[in-house]
Structure 1
């Protein structure tokens, strides 16, 4: 598998404060990589370092085989979503993209820029001045700017914050579209449900260190939190019933609560769900419904120290 980002022992400090503390990471060509962490965890510093906005203190990284010593070359294959405060607000939307396109070597026609604005949800707003844009509209034109120049690596920092649900879905579809075109997307977001839906792998950054790394499913299975299930049976299961089942099956089934006609339980793995459901049926319990709800990425995040 081809790597587009390779990082080894990357460190960055501001004064005496260590912000990045020896980051080791590879990101594969064509994947959507979700990068999450609390405020102050080092996400922005990480992005600023690998894009050349700030200098590392030690370590090594390369982008598509271009070493960090030649970072000016790698900038040509990276598209970065800017902060909304850095927009030229006196310019009209399409003129802004044309101007930024010239700087990045993007040679598309004005009609193509208008098509790009439509793609990110700014249809009809092409000739409005950016200062009249809402916060959400400014986020959209920032995403459009990141797509200029046909970059191999697209970095989107909180792309859907401030957007309505419909616009957020549209942005997620754009992410998937560009992934299908072979692009690699590095995505940060405080919306962990969004990260879960679009990311192939997720890295959780805490205090300058990547504490967890893997697919969303792997991270959920590794938490030790377990899998939540709800069952609708006749008769309704009680705590004593579950304690007896646990003892008979020699596995831990946690009784959470009864909620109307459902019994909420927790088991450790998907295999235990099969064992439990089989035993319920064989013991004469009428099993009408079983719903599985694995722990969320948010629970993984909250359990990361």
Structure 2
């Protein structure tokens, strides 16, 4: 397995306070990776270490196969978009990209920068000074700036916070296209719905420790709140309903019922076929089964509250 990021047993101390405690994490190359945690959980500290702003007390971090501190050659393969990108108000979008590329020693023809602006939906604003940009436009320019060196790995910190719905959809498309081209995207976000839609894997940090990492399905298996199941069926007799009620209550909790439906919770989906067979044996047709799987928000709250 090839990893863009490998964090091994990282501890960060500020005086007597331990902010990160034996943190380990791996991010696959070419994936979109979501990093979650409450304010104060230690997310920003770890990102600051990975992006060279801070240093570890103990442990190691490898980016694109190289240990920190990175060589200039590897640094130029990494892009960073902070939560609040700062721009010179009297410079245009195109001028910003040219200037930033020069700092990174990655100067390109104007057509290259124009293509970047097109990717983020700012081609029509290439010659507009950033003091006239909306908040959403500045977010998009921040992404373009982070992409100016054609990075293999990009850190995006809250790329859609405070952005209107149309801009959010555009930014999501940018992120998906990056991954399709093989760029590894490390996404920090408080928007759990966004992370659920975009990310291949997720890590959840709480109190300076990565409590869990994996795909959404793996997290559901590991920290699964109860499933909510609704079965809509042909009208059942009072006696049949009583038998079915007892069966379901042996494995879960009934939330609602009528002669033609049950809504109940289960710890997992293994009992659904058993319950369905019971309906069949009583010759009661089941018209519809709805299973509401736990959302990432429910998993996140479950992980956080279990500590």
Does the alignment reach a TM-score above 0.5? yes
Deviation (angstroms), 1:262:
5.4
Query: Is the alpha carbon distance of 1:27 and 1:231 closer, same or farther for their aligned partners in structure 2, counting shifts above 3 Å?
Result: same
Query: Is the alpha carbon distance of 1:66 and 1:85 closer, same or farther for their aligned partners in structure 2, counting shifts above 3 Å?
Result: closer
Deviation (angstroms), 1:4:
1.7
Matches within 5 A, 1:65-104: 65-70=65-70, 72-104=72-104
Structure 2 residue 157 is matched with structure 1 residue 157: yes
Aligned to 1:283: 282
Aligned to 2:181: 181
1:142-171 CA distance string (max 9 Å, x none): 111111111111111111112222322222
How many aligned residue pairs are there? 302
Deviation (angstroms), 1:69:
3.7
Q: Secondary structure at the residue paired with 2:106?
A: coil
Aligned to 1:205: 205
- Distance (Å, rounded) in 2 between the aligned partners of 1:289 and 1:184: 41
- Distance (Å, rounded) in 2 between the aligned partners of 1:59 and 1:272: 44
Aligned to 2:226: 226
Deviation (angstroms), 1:280:
2.2
Query: Is the alpha carbon distance of 1:63 and 1:240 closer, same or farther for their aligned partners in structure 2, counting shifts above 3 Å?
Result: same
1:85-142 CA distance string (max 9 Å, x none): 5222221112111211222233433233223223213242222221222222111111
Q: What stretches of structure 1 of length at least 5 have no aligned partner?
A: none
- Distance (Å, rounded) in 1 between the aligned partners of 2:237 and 2:253: 12
Matches within 5 A, 1:245-284: 245-246=247-248, 252-258=251-257, 263-284=262-283
Aligned to 1:166: 166
Which has the higher mean CA deviation after the structures are superposed, 202-211 or 156-165? 156-165
1:25-71 CA distance string (max 9 Å, x none): 12111111110001111111111101111122121111122111445
Q: Secondary structure at the residue paired with 2:114?
A: helix
- Distance (Å, rounded) in 2 between the aligned partners of 1:121 and 1:229: 42
Aligned to 2:53: 53
Q: Secondary structure at the residue paired with 2:203?
A: strand
State the superposition RMSD in angstroms: 2.4
TM-score for both structures, normalised by structure 1: 0.90
Q: What stretches of structure 2 of length at least 5 have no aligned partner?
A: none
Query: Is the alpha carbon distance of 1:281 and 1:123 closer, same or farther for their aligned partners in structure 2, counting shifts above 3 Å?
Result: farther
Structure 1 segments (4+ residues) deviating >4 Å: 236-242, 258-262
Deviation (angstroms), 1:263:
3.5
Aligned to 2:246: 244
Matches within 5 A, 1:18-33: 18-33=18-33
Query: Is the alpha carbon distance of 1:241 and 1:222 closer, same or farther for their aligned partners in structure 2, counting shifts above 3 Å?
Result: farther
Aligned to 2:147: 147
TM-score for both structures, normalised by structure 2: 0.89
- Distance (Å, rounded) in 2 between the aligned partners of 1:243 and 1:3: 50
